[in-house]
Protein backbone atom coordinates (compact mmCIF):
# COMPACT_ATOMS: atom_id res chain seq x y z
CA UNK A 1 0.00 0.00 0.00
CA UNK A 2 1.63 3.29 -1.13
CA UNK A 3 1.72 6.13 1.43
CA UNK A 4 0.23 9.64 0.85
CA UNK A 5 2.71 12.49 1.13
CA UNK A 6 2.35 16.28 1.00
CA UNK A 7 4.70 18.40 -1.11
CA UNK A 8 7.24 18.97 1.68
CA UNK A 9 7.27 15.27 2.51
CA UNK A 10 7.64 14.52 -1.23
CA UNK A 11 10.80 16.68 -1.31
CA UNK A 12 12.05 14.99 1.87
CA UNK A 13 11.22 11.58 0.41
CA UNK A 14 13.13 12.41 -2.77
CA UNK A 15 16.05 13.71 -0.73
CA UNK A 16 15.90 10.42 1.20
CA UNK A 17 16.03 8.60 -2.16
CA UNK A 18 12.53 7.10 -1.99
CA UNK A 19 11.80 6.05 -5.55
CA UNK A 20 10.26 8.75 -7.72
CA UNK A 21 7.65 6.30 -8.94
CA UNK A 22 6.03 6.31 -5.50
CA UNK A 23 5.31 9.99 -6.07
CA UNK A 24 2.73 9.57 -8.76
CA UNK A 25 0.03 7.35 -10.09
CA UNK A 26 -2.04 5.48 -7.53
CA UNK A 27 0.48 6.30 -4.78
CA UNK A 28 0.46 9.37 -2.59
CA UNK A 29 -2.10 11.16 -4.68
CA UNK A 30 -4.60 8.28 -4.92
CA UNK A 31 -5.66 8.30 -1.30
CA UNK A 32 -6.24 12.00 -1.51
CA UNK A 33 -8.60 11.19 -4.36
CA UNK A 34 -11.28 9.74 -2.15
CA UNK A 35 -12.64 13.21 -2.12
CA UNK A 36 -13.20 13.35 1.59
CA UNK A 37 -11.87 16.62 2.92
CA UNK A 38 -9.95 14.76 5.61
CA UNK A 39 -7.52 13.59 2.99
CA UNK A 40 -7.04 16.94 1.26
CA UNK A 41 -3.25 17.38 1.03
CA UNK A 42 -1.58 20.45 2.54
CA UNK A 43 -1.87 23.64 0.53
CA UNK A 44 -5.51 22.92 -0.34
CA UNK A 45 -8.24 24.73 1.60
CA UNK A 46 -11.87 23.78 1.12
CA UNK A 47 -12.58 27.36 0.21
CA UNK A 48 -15.22 29.55 1.67
CA UNK A 49 -17.27 31.10 -1.16
CA UNK A 50 -15.37 34.05 -2.46
CA UNK A 51 -11.86 32.72 -1.67
CA UNK A 52 -11.37 31.07 -5.06
CA UNK A 53 -8.88 32.91 -7.32
CA UNK A 54 -10.82 35.51 -9.24
CA UNK A 55 -11.43 34.18 -12.69
CA UNK A 56 -11.45 37.27 -14.96
CA UNK A 57 -13.66 35.50 -17.51
CA UNK A 58 -16.18 34.69 -14.74
CA UNK A 59 -16.32 31.12 -16.04
CA UNK A 60 -17.27 29.57 -12.74
CA UNK A 61 -19.62 26.77 -13.48
CA UNK A 62 -23.24 27.65 -12.97
CA UNK A 63 -25.07 25.23 -15.23
CA UNK A 64 -27.44 22.33 -15.03
CA UNK A 65 -26.72 19.14 -13.15
CA UNK A 66 -25.84 16.32 -15.44
CA UNK A 67 -24.27 12.92 -16.03
CA UNK A 68 -21.09 13.44 -14.13
CA UNK A 69 -18.80 10.46 -14.22
CA UNK A 70 -17.87 9.69 -10.64
CA UNK A 71 -14.74 7.64 -10.25
CA UNK A 72 -12.49 6.54 -7.44
CA UNK A 73 -11.22 10.05 -7.74
CA UNK A 74 -14.43 11.62 -6.60
CA UNK A 75 -16.54 13.79 -8.81
CA UNK A 76 -14.97 15.28 -11.86
CA UNK A 77 -14.40 18.99 -11.44
CA UNK A 78 -16.72 21.65 -12.71
CA UNK A 79 -16.92 22.20 -16.42
CA UNK A 80 -17.38 25.57 -17.90
CA UNK A 81 -21.01 26.14 -18.68
CA UNK A 82 -21.36 27.42 -22.20
CA UNK A 83 -17.99 29.21 -22.13
CA UNK A 84 -15.86 27.48 -24.75
CA UNK A 85 -17.14 24.11 -23.61
CA UNK A 86 -17.72 21.48 -26.18
CA UNK A 87 -18.55 18.65 -23.86
CA UNK A 88 -19.20 15.51 -25.84
CA UNK A 89 -21.84 13.19 -24.40
CA UNK A 90 -19.78 10.22 -25.64
CA UNK A 91 -17.04 11.16 -23.23
CA UNK A 92 -19.27 10.31 -20.28
CA UNK A 93 -18.36 13.63 -18.73
CA UNK A 94 -21.39 15.92 -18.83
CA UNK A 95 -22.11 19.44 -17.67
CA UNK A 96 -22.67 19.79 -14.01
CA UNK A 97 -23.26 22.46 -11.46
CA UNK A 98 -20.77 23.54 -8.88
CA UNK A 99 -22.18 22.41 -5.53
CA UNK A 100 -19.15 23.17 -3.38
CA UNK A 101 -17.19 26.37 -3.02
CA UNK A 102 -14.13 26.43 -5.25
CA UNK A 103 -10.98 25.02 -3.72
CA UNK A 104 -7.97 27.25 -3.43
CA UNK A 105 -4.31 26.39 -3.76
CA UNK A 106 -1.98 25.76 -6.70
CA UNK A 107 -2.83 23.33 -9.52
CA UNK A 108 -0.52 20.69 -8.06
CA UNK A 109 -2.37 20.65 -4.72
CA UNK A 110 -5.78 20.48 -6.42
CA UNK A 111 -4.51 17.67 -8.63
CA UNK A 112 -3.10 15.76 -5.66
CA UNK A 113 -6.57 15.79 -4.20
CA UNK A 114 -7.72 13.99 -7.34
CA UNK A 115 -4.91 11.48 -7.35
CA UNK A 116 -3.06 12.76 -10.38
CA UNK A 117 0.09 14.70 -11.11
CA UNK A 118 -0.06 17.84 -13.26
CA UNK A 119 3.09 18.49 -15.18
CA UNK A 120 4.73 20.89 -17.56
CA UNK A 121 7.95 20.95 -19.56
CA UNK A 122 11.03 23.02 -18.97
CA UNK A 123 12.17 24.17 -22.45
CA UNK A 124 15.87 23.88 -21.48
CA UNK A 125 17.67 24.08 -18.13
CA UNK A 126 18.75 27.63 -18.99
CA UNK A 127 15.13 28.71 -18.52
CA UNK A 128 15.40 27.79 -14.84
CA UNK A 129 17.66 30.78 -14.25
CA UNK A 130 14.63 33.00 -14.92
CA UNK A 131 13.13 33.46 -11.44
CA UNK A 132 9.61 34.17 -12.76
CA UNK A 133 9.72 31.02 -14.88
CA UNK A 134 11.08 28.72 -12.19
CA UNK A 135 8.86 30.12 -9.45
CA UNK A 136 5.71 29.45 -11.49
CA UNK A 137 6.84 26.01 -12.65
CA UNK A 138 7.85 24.92 -9.15
CA UNK A 139 4.74 26.24 -7.41
CA UNK A 140 1.97 25.18 -9.79
CA UNK A 141 3.21 21.81 -11.12
CA UNK A 142 3.99 18.47 -9.45
CA UNK A 143 5.75 16.94 -12.42
CA UNK A 144 8.44 18.14 -14.78
CA UNK A 145 9.43 16.94 -18.26
CA UNK A 146 12.70 18.16 -19.83
CA UNK A 147 11.38 19.30 -23.22
CA UNK A 148 14.82 19.00 -24.90
CA UNK A 149 17.70 18.39 -22.43
CA UNK A 150 17.42 14.58 -22.38
CA UNK A 151 17.32 14.18 -26.16
CA UNK A 152 20.19 12.38 -27.96
CA UNK A 153 21.67 15.52 -29.54
CA UNK A 154 22.07 17.05 -26.07
CA UNK A 155 23.10 14.10 -23.86
CA UNK A 156 25.09 12.03 -26.38
CA UNK A 157 26.94 14.58 -28.57
CA UNK A 158 29.73 12.21 -29.67
CA UNK A 159 30.41 8.46 -29.70
CA UNK A 160 30.96 7.33 -26.08
CA UNK A 161 30.56 10.90 -24.83
CA UNK A 162 27.64 11.83 -22.56
CA UNK A 163 26.76 15.32 -21.30
CA UNK A 164 24.24 15.40 -18.47
CA UNK A 165 24.68 19.09 -17.57
CA UNK A 166 21.14 20.08 -18.61
CA UNK A 167 19.20 17.04 -17.34
CA UNK A 168 21.05 17.10 -14.00
CA UNK A 169 19.87 20.69 -13.48
CA UNK A 170 16.30 19.79 -14.45
CA UNK A 171 16.20 16.78 -12.10
CA UNK A 172 17.76 18.75 -9.25
CA UNK A 173 15.16 21.49 -9.73
CA UNK A 174 12.38 18.93 -9.65
CA UNK A 175 13.74 17.32 -6.50
CA UNK A 176 14.08 20.64 -4.72
CA UNK A 177 10.45 21.43 -5.55
CA UNK A 178 8.98 18.05 -4.68
CA UNK A 179 8.20 17.33 -8.32
CA UNK A 180 8.32 13.98 -10.10
CA UNK A 181 10.22 13.75 -13.38
CA UNK A 182 9.05 12.42 -16.74
CA UNK A 183 12.03 11.48 -18.90
CA UNK A 184 11.81 12.34 -22.61
CA UNK A 185 13.00 10.46 -24.69
CA UNK A 186 15.31 7.45 -25.28
CA UNK A 187 14.65 6.53 -28.93
CA UNK A 188 13.31 8.98 -31.49
CA UNK A 189 13.91 9.75 -35.19
CA UNK A 190 14.47 13.46 -34.64
CA UNK A 191 17.08 15.50 -32.76
CA UNK A 192 19.73 12.80 -33.17
CA UNK A 193 23.41 13.80 -33.44
CA UNK A 194 25.04 13.63 -36.86
CA UNK A 195 27.66 11.09 -35.65
CA UNK A 196 24.74 8.66 -35.26
CA UNK A 197 22.78 9.39 -38.41
CA UNK A 198 25.52 9.99 -40.98
CA UNK A 199 27.66 6.89 -40.35
CA UNK A 200 26.48 3.65 -42.05
CA UNK A 201 26.42 1.62 -38.86
CA UNK A 202 25.33 -2.02 -39.15
CA UNK A 203 22.18 -3.31 -37.43
CA UNK A 204 24.26 -4.94 -34.70
CA UNK A 205 26.33 -1.79 -34.18
CA UNK A 206 23.16 0.30 -33.83
CA UNK A 207 21.68 -2.23 -31.40
CA UNK A 208 24.84 -1.93 -29.25
CA UNK A 209 24.78 1.88 -29.46
CA UNK A 210 21.09 2.12 -28.51
CA UNK A 211 21.55 -0.40 -25.67
CA UNK A 212 24.50 1.56 -24.28
CA UNK A 213 22.57 4.84 -24.52
CA UNK A 214 19.47 3.58 -22.76
CA UNK A 215 21.40 1.79 -20.01
CA UNK A 216 23.58 4.84 -19.40
CA UNK A 217 20.83 7.49 -19.40
CA UNK A 218 18.19 5.50 -17.47
CA UNK A 219 20.85 4.15 -15.10
CA UNK A 220 22.01 7.68 -14.24
CA UNK A 221 18.52 8.73 -13.15
CA UNK A 222 17.50 5.43 -11.56
CA UNK A 223 14.92 6.16 -8.83
CA UNK A 224 14.81 9.84 -9.81
CA UNK A 225 12.75 9.61 -13.01
CA UNK A 226 9.24 8.27 -12.47
CA UNK A 227 8.20 7.77 -16.09
CA UNK A 228 10.18 7.44 -19.32
CA UNK A 229 9.08 8.02 -22.92
CA UNK A 230 11.18 5.06 -24.01
CA UNK A 231 10.13 5.21 -27.67
CA UNK A 232 8.80 8.45 -29.12
CA UNK A 233 6.82 8.52 -32.40
CA UNK A 234 8.49 5.23 -33.19
CA UNK A 235 6.49 3.62 -36.04
CA UNK A 236 8.85 4.06 -38.99
CA UNK A 237 11.82 6.37 -38.89
CA UNK A 238 15.56 6.02 -38.08
CA UNK A 239 15.63 3.12 -35.57
CA UNK A 240 12.76 1.24 -37.25
CA UNK A 241 14.43 1.48 -40.66
CA UNK A 242 17.97 0.65 -39.50
CA UNK A 243 17.33 -1.98 -36.81
CA UNK A 244 13.77 -3.12 -37.55
CA UNK A 245 10.49 -2.98 -35.60
CA UNK A 246 11.96 -5.16 -32.83
CA UNK A 247 14.08 -2.22 -31.67
CA UNK A 248 10.97 -1.23 -29.67
CA UNK A 249 10.86 -4.51 -27.70
CA UNK A 250 14.59 -4.25 -27.01
CA UNK A 251 14.43 -0.59 -25.95
CA UNK A 252 11.73 -1.30 -23.34
CA UNK A 253 13.58 -4.30 -21.94
CA UNK A 254 16.85 -2.34 -21.64
CA UNK A 255 15.06 0.56 -19.91
CA UNK A 256 13.37 -1.86 -17.50
CA UNK A 257 16.70 -3.50 -16.69
CA UNK A 258 18.29 -0.11 -15.99
CA UNK A 259 15.47 1.01 -13.65
CA UNK A 260 12.82 -1.62 -12.81
CA UNK A 261 10.84 0.96 -10.78
CA UNK A 262 10.36 3.45 -13.58
CA UNK A 263 7.12 3.42 -15.58
CA UNK A 264 7.80 2.99 -19.29
CA UNK A 265 5.74 4.62 -22.04
CA UNK A 266 5.33 4.57 -25.80
CA UNK A 267 4.58 8.21 -26.76
CA UNK A 268 3.02 9.51 -29.98
CA UNK A 269 0.98 12.28 -31.62
CA UNK A 270 -2.17 12.08 -33.72
CA UNK A 271 -3.17 8.91 -31.87
CA UNK A 272 -5.21 10.41 -29.04
CA UNK A 273 -8.65 9.29 -30.26
CA UNK A 274 -9.78 6.32 -32.40
CA UNK A 275 -9.11 5.13 -35.95
CA UNK A 276 -6.07 5.46 -38.21
CA UNK A 277 -2.87 6.03 -36.26
CA UNK A 278 -4.53 5.47 -32.87
CA UNK A 279 -5.44 1.94 -33.99
CA UNK A 280 -1.87 1.41 -35.27
CA UNK A 281 -0.47 2.44 -31.89
CA UNK A 282 -3.07 0.27 -30.12
CA UNK A 283 -2.04 -2.78 -32.16
CA UNK A 284 1.65 -2.00 -31.54
CA UNK A 285 1.29 -1.86 -27.74
CA UNK A 286 -1.09 -4.84 -27.67
CA UNK A 287 1.62 -6.82 -29.45
CA UNK A 288 4.20 -5.67 -26.89
CA UNK A 289 1.91 -6.74 -24.05
CA UNK A 290 1.26 -10.13 -25.68
CA UNK A 291 5.04 -10.67 -25.99
CA UNK A 292 5.45 -9.83 -22.29
CA UNK A 293 7.48 -6.66 -22.95
CA UNK A 294 7.81 -4.30 -19.93
CA UNK A 295 5.61 -1.46 -21.12
CA UNK A 296 3.40 0.43 -18.63
CA UNK A 297 1.59 3.01 -20.69
CA UNK A 298 0.92 5.08 -23.77
CA UNK A 299 1.54 8.82 -23.95
CA UNK A 300 -1.10 10.82 -25.84
CA UNK A 301 0.81 13.92 -26.93
CA UNK A 302 -2.31 16.06 -27.62
CA UNK A 303 -0.90 18.92 -29.72
CA UNK A 304 -4.24 20.43 -30.73
CA UNK A 305 -5.78 23.41 -32.48
CA UNK A 306 -9.38 24.43 -31.72
CA UNK A 307 -10.66 21.22 -33.33
CA UNK A 308 -9.30 18.38 -31.20
CA UNK A 309 -10.41 14.79 -31.78
CA UNK A 310 -13.89 13.91 -30.43
CA UNK A 311 -13.67 13.65 -26.65
CA UNK A 312 -15.66 10.43 -26.68
CA UNK A 313 -12.97 8.91 -28.90
CA UNK A 314 -10.19 10.01 -26.54
CA UNK A 315 -12.09 8.54 -23.56
CA UNK A 316 -12.70 5.32 -25.50
CA UNK A 317 -9.02 5.11 -26.44
CA UNK A 318 -7.98 5.53 -22.80
CA UNK A 319 -10.54 2.87 -21.87
CA UNK A 320 -9.29 0.28 -24.35
CA UNK A 321 -5.69 0.92 -23.27
CA UNK A 322 -6.81 0.33 -19.71
CA UNK A 323 -8.25 -3.01 -20.84
CA UNK A 324 -4.72 -3.92 -21.95
CA UNK A 325 -3.48 -3.08 -18.46
CA UNK A 326 -1.84 0.10 -19.71
CA UNK A 327 -1.88 3.64 -18.39
CA UNK A 328 -2.74 6.51 -20.71
CA UNK A 329 -1.01 9.79 -19.97
CA UNK A 330 -1.63 13.19 -21.52
CA UNK A 331 2.00 14.07 -22.22
CA UNK A 332 2.34 17.18 -24.44
CA UNK A 333 -0.94 19.13 -24.39
CA UNK A 334 -1.08 22.52 -26.03
CA UNK A 335 -3.89 24.24 -27.95
CA UNK A 336 -2.59 26.61 -30.59
CA UNK A 337 -4.53 29.74 -31.58
CA UNK A 338 -4.41 31.94 -34.64
CA UNK A 339 -2.62 35.13 -33.66
CA UNK A 340 -3.50 37.62 -32.41
CA UNK A 341 -5.59 35.46 -30.08
CA UNK A 342 -9.16 36.75 -29.63
CA UNK A 343 -11.61 36.39 -26.71
CA UNK A 344 -13.86 33.67 -28.18
CA UNK A 345 -10.82 31.58 -29.16
CA UNK A 346 -9.34 31.96 -25.67
CA UNK A 347 -12.65 30.71 -24.25
CA UNK A 348 -12.71 27.74 -26.63
CA UNK A 349 -9.13 26.99 -25.58
CA UNK A 350 -10.23 27.15 -21.95
CA UNK A 351 -12.97 24.62 -22.68
CA UNK A 352 -10.53 22.23 -24.36
CA UNK A 353 -8.08 22.36 -21.43
CA UNK A 354 -11.00 21.82 -19.06
CA UNK A 355 -12.37 18.91 -21.10
CA UNK A 356 -9.00 17.18 -21.54
CA UNK A 357 -8.27 17.27 -17.81
CA UNK A 358 -11.76 15.99 -16.99
CA UNK A 359 -11.34 13.19 -19.51
CA UNK A 360 -8.12 12.25 -17.70
CA UNK A 361 -9.78 12.46 -14.29
CA UNK A 362 -12.63 10.25 -15.49
CA UNK A 363 -10.20 7.60 -16.80
CA UNK A 364 -8.95 5.30 -14.02
CA UNK A 365 -5.69 4.72 -15.92
CA UNK A 366 -4.77 8.39 -16.48
CA UNK A 367 -2.50 9.51 -13.63
CA UNK A 368 -0.34 12.19 -15.20
CA UNK A 369 -1.41 15.22 -17.21
CA UNK A 370 1.35 17.31 -18.80
CA UNK A 371 1.31 20.43 -20.95
CA UNK A 372 4.10 21.07 -23.46
CA UNK A 373 5.39 24.16 -21.71
CA UNK A 374 3.29 26.39 -19.47
CA UNK A 375 3.98 29.94 -20.64
CA UNK A 376 3.48 31.37 -24.16
CA UNK A 377 6.91 32.95 -23.67
CA UNK A 378 8.58 29.55 -24.27
CA UNK A 379 6.62 27.42 -26.70
CA UNK A 380 7.56 25.48 -29.84
CA UNK A 381 4.30 26.51 -31.58
CA UNK A 382 5.22 29.90 -33.15
CA UNK A 383 8.28 28.46 -34.94
CA UNK A 384 6.49 25.26 -35.99
CA UNK A 385 3.15 26.93 -36.93
CA UNK A 386 3.82 30.46 -38.21
CA UNK A 387 0.86 32.71 -37.40
CA UNK A 388 -0.10 30.57 -34.41
CA UNK A 389 0.75 30.74 -30.73
CA UNK A 390 -0.75 31.52 -27.31
CA UNK A 391 -1.08 27.74 -26.85
CA UNK A 392 -0.45 27.48 -23.11
CA UNK A 393 -2.16 28.28 -19.75
CA UNK A 394 0.04 31.29 -18.86
CA UNK A 395 0.80 34.26 -21.13
CA UNK A 396 4.13 35.85 -22.06
CA UNK A 397 4.25 37.65 -18.70
CA UNK A 398 3.39 34.51 -16.68
CA UNK A 399 -0.15 35.77 -16.07
CA UNK A 400 -2.86 33.06 -15.95
CA UNK A 401 -5.08 32.82 -19.02
CA UNK A 402 -8.65 31.44 -19.24
CA UNK A 403 -7.05 28.07 -20.02
CA UNK A 404 -5.47 28.05 -16.56
CA UNK A 405 -8.89 28.57 -14.99
CA UNK A 406 -10.26 25.80 -17.20
CA UNK A 407 -7.71 23.48 -15.59
CA UNK A 408 -8.51 24.75 -12.09
CA UNK A 409 -12.24 24.29 -12.65
CA UNK A 410 -11.72 20.70 -13.75
CA UNK A 411 -9.99 20.11 -10.41
CA UNK A 412 -12.69 21.85 -8.39
CA UNK A 413 -10.75 25.10 -8.04
O1 LIG B 1 19.13 25.21 -27.27
C2 LIG B 1 19.54 25.54 -28.58
C3 LIG B 1 20.11 26.95 -28.58
O4 LIG B 1 21.32 26.95 -27.82
C5 LIG B 1 20.39 27.37 -30.01
O6 LIG B 1 20.83 28.73 -30.00
C7 LIG B 1 19.06 27.28 -30.80
C8 LIG B 1 19.24 27.69 -32.25
O9 LIG B 1 19.72 26.63 -33.00
O10 LIG B 1 18.59 25.90 -30.80
C11 LIG B 1 18.28 25.51 -29.48
O12 LIG B 1 17.88 24.19 -29.53
C13 LIG B 1 16.54 24.05 -30.04
C14 LIG B 1 15.68 23.43 -28.92
O15 LIG B 1 14.35 23.14 -29.45
C16 LIG B 1 15.52 24.36 -27.74
O17 LIG B 1 14.89 25.53 -28.12
C18 LIG B 1 16.62 23.06 -31.19
O19 LIG B 1 17.32 23.71 -32.27
C20 LIG B 1 15.19 22.73 -31.67
O21 LIG B 1 15.26 21.70 -32.64
C22 LIG B 1 14.40 22.17 -30.47
O23 LIG B 1 13.08 21.95 -30.94
C24 LIG B 1 12.36 21.03 -30.11
C25 LIG B 1 11.84 19.90 -31.02
O26 LIG B 1 11.00 19.02 -30.23
C27 LIG B 1 12.96 19.06 -31.59
O28 LIG B 1 13.61 18.38 -30.53
C29 LIG B 1 11.17 21.79 -29.50
O30 LIG B 1 11.66 22.78 -28.57
C31 LIG B 1 10.27 20.81 -28.75
O32 LIG B 1 9.10 21.47 -28.32
C33 LIG B 1 9.86 19.67 -29.71
O34 LIG B 1 9.12 18.74 -28.93
C35 LIG B 1 8.57 17.61 -29.62
C36 LIG B 1 8.65 16.43 -28.67
O37 LIG B 1 9.97 16.20 -28.30
C38 LIG B 1 8.02 15.21 -29.30
N39 LIG B 1 6.66 15.48 -29.74
C40 LIG B 1 6.48 16.64 -30.59
C41 LIG B 1 7.10 17.87 -29.94
C42 LIG B 1 6.91 19.08 -30.85
O43 LIG B 1 7.64 18.91 -32.02
Measured from the CA of 126, which atom of ligand 1 is nearest? 1
Centre of ligand 1 to C-alpha 373, Å, is: 12
Given the residues 31, 80, 272, 332, the one annotated as active site: 332
The answer to whether the CB of 153 is under 6 A from ligand 1 is no
Task: Give the model's pLDDT for residue 97.
Answer: 55
User: Helix (H, G, I), strand (E, B), or coil: what is residue 56?
Assistant: coil
Q: Is 315 helix (H, G, I), strand (E, B) or coil?
A: helix
The answer for residues whose C-beta is within 8 angstroms of residue 147's C-beta and 6 or more apart is 121, 122, 123, 124, 184, 372, 373, 380
Domain boundaries defined on the chain: 7-410
- Judge if the beta carbon of residue 345 lies within 6 A of ligand 1: no
Residue 148 CA to ligand 1 centre (angstroms): 6
Q: How many angstroms separate the CA atoms of 4 and 10, rounded?
A: 9
CB-ligand 1 contact for 332 (6 Å cutoff): yes
Ligand 1 close to Cβ of residue 301 (< 6 A): yes
- The per-residue pLDDT for range 223-279, each reduced to its tens digit, is 999 999 999 999 999 999 999 999 999 999 999 999 999 999 999 999 999 999 999
Q: Is 124 in the pocket of ligand 1 (CB under 6 A)?
A: yes
Q: Is the CB of 191 under 6 A from ligand 1?
A: yes
Measured in Å, residue 124 CA sits from the centre of ligand 1 at 9
pTM score: 0.83
- The alpha carbon of 252 is separated from its chain's Cα centroid by a whole number of angstroms, namely 19
Cα separation, 53 vs 132, whole angstroms: 19
Residues 6+ apart with CB under 8 A from 261: 19, 20, 21, 222, 223
Is residue 233 part of the annotated active site? The answer reads yes
Contact 406, 350 (CB under 8 A): yes
Q: Which atom of ligand 1 is nearest to the CA of 184?
A: 37
Q: pLDDT tens-digit profile of 347-379?
A: 999 999 999 999 999 999 999 999 999 999 999
From the CA of 383, how far away is ligand 1's center (Å)? Answer: 10
Task: Give pLDDT, residue 59.
Answer: 47
pLDDT of residue 33: 41
**Running along the chain, 413 residues long, what does each successive block of 10 average in pLDDT?**
43 43 42 40 40 48 40 42 42 54 90 96 97 98 98 98 98 98 98 97 98 98 98 98 98 98 98 97 98 98 98 98 98 98 98 98 97 98 98 98 98 92
Ligand 1 atom closest to residue 373's alpha carbon, by position in its atom list: 32
Which protein residue has the closest C-alpha to ligand 1 atom 15?
Answer: 148
Contact 4, 31 (CB under 8 A): yes
Q: Which atom of ligand 1 is nearest to the CA of 191?
A: 28
The CATH class that applies to domain 7-410 reads alpha beta
Distance CA 379, CA 377 (A): 6
The single residue of 31, 147, 233, 263 carrying the catalytic annotation is 233
Q: Which of 148, 166, 228 to mutate to test the pocket of ligand 1 (most atoms within 8 A of CB)?
A: 148
CA of 327 to the centre of ligand 1 (A): 27
How far apart are the CA of 27 and the centre of ligand 1, in A?
A: 33
The answer, yes or no, to whether any atom of ligand 1 lies below 6 A from the CB of 127, is no
Amino acid sequence: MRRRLCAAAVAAALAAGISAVHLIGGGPFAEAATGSSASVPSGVEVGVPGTAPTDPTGGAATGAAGGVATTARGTAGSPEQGVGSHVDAGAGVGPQTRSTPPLTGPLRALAARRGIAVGATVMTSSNLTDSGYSALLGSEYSMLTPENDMKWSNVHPAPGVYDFTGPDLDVAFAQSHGMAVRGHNLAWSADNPSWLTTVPFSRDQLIAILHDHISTVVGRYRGKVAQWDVVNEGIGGFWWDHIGPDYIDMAFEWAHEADPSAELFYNDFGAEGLGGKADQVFELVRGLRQRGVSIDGVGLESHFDLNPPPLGDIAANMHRLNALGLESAVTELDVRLAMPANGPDLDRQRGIYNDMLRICLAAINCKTFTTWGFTDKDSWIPSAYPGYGAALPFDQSYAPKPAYYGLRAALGG
